[in-house]
Amino acid sequence: MSNRQPGTPQHLTPKVKGGSAASEQQDMLRDKTAVSAAGPSQSFEPSSSSTPSAGESCFQAHNVVGGYGVQNIIHGIDLSLIQGEWLTLVGANGSGKSTFLRFLSRILKPSAGTVLLDHQDIHRLNPTTVARKLALLPQQQTLPAGLTVEQLVSLGRSPHQPWWQWELDASGWEKVDQALLWTELESYRHRPVSDLSGGERQRAFLALALAQEPQVLLLDEPTTFLDIHYQLQLLELLRRLNQERSLSIITVLHDINLATRYSDRLAMMRQGKLWAIGPTTEVLTPANLKAVFDVDAVILDTPVGLQICPLAPPDTSGAAP
Amino acid sequence: MQVSRSHLNPSVSARPLARRRTIVPFLALSGGLVLIIAFSLAHGSVSLTVKELWLAILGQGTDVHTTILWDLRLPRVLAALMVGSSLGLAGALLQGMLRNGLASPFLLGISAGAGLVVVLLVGIGIWQIWVPLGAWAGAVFTAVMVYFLACTRNRLSVERLILSGVAFSTFFGAIQSMLLLLSEDGRIQAALTWLIGSLNGRGWKEVSMVWPIFAIAILLGCLLARQVNILSLGDDLATGLGTSLLRSRLMIGAVATILAAGAVSVAGLVGFVGLIVPHGVRLLVGTDYRLVLPFSALGGALVLATADLIARSGPTELPVGVVTSVLGAPVFIWLLYRRSSGGMV
């Protein structure tokens, strides 16, 4: 197409970029392949690159209260996300973690409290302005029949397009290419999204969110429908984005072990409130797990860091006559 | 520094190919349209040869030929083109917005509202002059009521919209049937012709009255293509991409209503065009609404002009709505069959 500019350097792949940054990135890549090939043991590095005190808070929830109808599900949550950190919301079913994420992503409007992005209330800002900084990967996606990967990802540019612009400009296509490169979907570019496997499909929707160029990415249980291989693949990709592009990430994850392994901080939710929040190593205690999930668990030190081993729900032994 | 991008990205060169793929359907549709227009102008109770047609266009033919061409056939063809393109576009807009292939321009209660008003007018004995305006008002009023019912707490859900459309259609349809049963014999005939949809006798008066509205609404409708594309990703993702669901659904619904109401006021309830044309267009150009919307307008014009040509080719003239329904239903069944055998709709 005529509006493409060959040879624009700033978005090239790690493979062709020279200099120290590239070799760092290559290490990351190698690290990533090592995970799937030689097992996870080498990949774990405590990702403490963004210590809470070092960064600046870019995304905050202040006393958020609300629910779907009249009844409140979330009863006042305060939360602050530091630029470049990965925070995971965990909690039992019905604890309100997905609902809370819907408040953070502007899908629902809280009945009280505010959500601030760069110190501005996202529910009052122009939606397009918010969408340029905040992207969402919903849990379940609607798949328009026949839409190709490239068409899907290019829709991620729409918050950056003026309403009269019919077709993406050169820099817009560049961002689309970049997103496809990151998610390793270039060869799928012209395939219909509906033909892809679950893992590839999830990557395609992640590429759409990346094309939005967000500061903050919200993901609602991104690994739910994936097998263990694709779960790790997706989370490793997110870790690369988190570390190399200092993308701030908030995920909702069911799997507490995956949450522990990848996030900087955990926010444990219980009955619509925040039970505990802090660095994973600090909040991952048997007492917290019992309070939040109502299970007895032991914490194990494994090659990938701390992991939990649930023993039994505490009631079963005591309830027997 | 200078790294060839095509080396990294072998599929880059494929994007113009997608553009080339749209040129063929465009040429086919517009070529077909030109042919049908020419046929429609030449064909009729007085057939014109190519030479006579050409002379009449230039105004150098016989007076009879010139009058037939300029005062009878041309406005009717133009009316068919306008009605067809607005029905096609309105159907594509609603199918995209509601993410439902069963949506037609009449889903939002437009047909029932317009039909009720027309049957009322005919029943009272007011005919001709007030029918187009009454149909338009009834269509718009019902669509507004449907939207009003579907809207809750600043939210507008697709399911509520469809359900309230069905509710109003059923209610107004029942009253309309009752009125038809009560009215006198001669009037039932007149009302039925309108309800089925006909272009008989449409002239410059109708065309000159409605063309500016159609032109603006068709332009606006095509400009909404990106909104429709984003809405097709689902509510959550559309919100995440910075779309206001309420606002874009109101805008799309408003444009579709203006288009469908305009079509109804000119030609009555011409069925099936708005339902089928978007499906056919998606087979041709894929699901990108930036292509689907303009192509649906083009395709609708072609389909209705063809149907009208068929309608007035028989020994007695049929209402064009009969032709679209009789031919449309088998086409729709064929499309469904294709879909079940793995075709992409």
3-state secondary structure of B88: helix
The amino acid that residue A133 corresponds to is: K
Inform me whether the C-beta atom of residue A169 falls under 8 Å from chain B C-beta atoms. no
Q: Is B117 exposed, middle or buried (0-12, 13-18, 19+ CB in 10 A)?
A: buried
Structure-derived torsion over alpha carbons of residues B162, B164, B166, B167, reported in degrees to the nearest 10: 160
pLDDT digits (tens, 9 = 90+) for A120-153: 999 999 999 999 999 999 988 888 778 899 999 9
Angle between helices B289-311 and B320-340 (to 10 degrees): 130
Average pLDDT for B107-120:
87
Inform me whether the C-beta atom of residue A18 falls under 8 Å from chain B C-beta atoms. no
Inform me whether the C-beta atom of residue A171 falls under 8 Å from chain B C-beta atoms. no
The phi, psi pair for A204, rounded to 5°, reads -65, -40
Would you state the pLDDT for residue B100? 83
**B291/B288 Cα distance (integer angstroms):** 6
The phi, psi pair for B103, rounded to 5°, reads -70, 135
Answer yes or no: do B235 and A13 touch at CB < 8 A.
no
Which range of A232-241, B5-14, B131-140 scores highest in mean pLDDT? It is A232-241
Q: Nearest CB to A7: which of B5, B15, B232? A: B5
pLDDT digits (tens, 9 = 90+) for A50-72: 334 446 788 999 999 988 878 88
Residue whose C-alpha is closest to residue B267's, from B140, B143, B132: B132
Q: Nearest CB to B242: which of A107, A127, A186? A: A127
**B140/B113 Cα distance (integer angstroms):** 8
B155 bridge partner residues = B152
Query: For all residues of chain A together, what is the average pLDDT?
Result: 81
Higher per-residue confidence, B10 vs B327: B327
Task: Give the DSSP per-residue string, A155-196.
Answer: GGGGGGS-TT--S--HHHHHHHHHHHHHTT-GGGTTSBGGGS
Structure-derived torsion over alpha carbons of residues B314, B315, B318, B323, reported in degrees to the nearest 10: -20
Name every chain A residue with its beta carbon within 8 A of the beta carbon of B225. Answer: 166
Answer yes or no: do A155 and B230 touch at CB < 8 A.
yes
Give percent of chain B with pLDDT exceeding 70.
91
Q: Nearest CB to B287: which of A4, A12, A144? A: A144
Q: Which sign, positive or negative, has the C-alpha torsion A14, A19, A21, A25?
A: positive
Residue A11 CA: distances (Å) to CA of A8, A31, A60: 7, 21, 30
Answer yes or no: do A166 and B290 touch at CB < 8 A.
yes
Answer yes or no: do B237 and A189 touch at CB < 8 A.
no
To test the contact with chain A by mutation, choose from B241, B247, B279, B288 the residue with the greatest count of A C-beta atoms within 10 A, namely: B241
Retrieve residue A265's tokens: 């901080």
Which A-chain residues 198-217 have CB contacts (< 8 A) with chain B? 205, 208-209, 212
Higher per-residue confidence, A96 vs B154: A96
Q: How many whole angstroms from its chain centre is CA A174?
A: 23
Would you state the pLDDT for residue B127? 65
Answer yes or no: do B239 and A105 touch at CB < 8 A.
yes
3-state secondary structure of A60: strand
Name every chain B residue with its beta carbon within 8 A of the beta carbon of A186. Answer: 9, 11
Q: Nearest CB to A141: which of B3, B230, B237? A: B237
3-state secondary structure of B232: coil
Higher per-residue confidence, B4 vs B298: B298
Q: Where are the beta strands (DSSP E) in chain A?
A: 57-66, 74-82, 86-91, 112-117, 120-121, 134-137, 216-220, 248-252, 265-270, 273-279, 296-302, 305-312
The model's pTM: 0.82
Inform me whether the C-beta atom of residue A132 falls under 8 Å from chain B C-beta atoms. yes
Would you state the pLDDT for residue A213? 93
DSSP annotation of A148: B
**A4/A288 Cα distance (integer angstroms):** 54
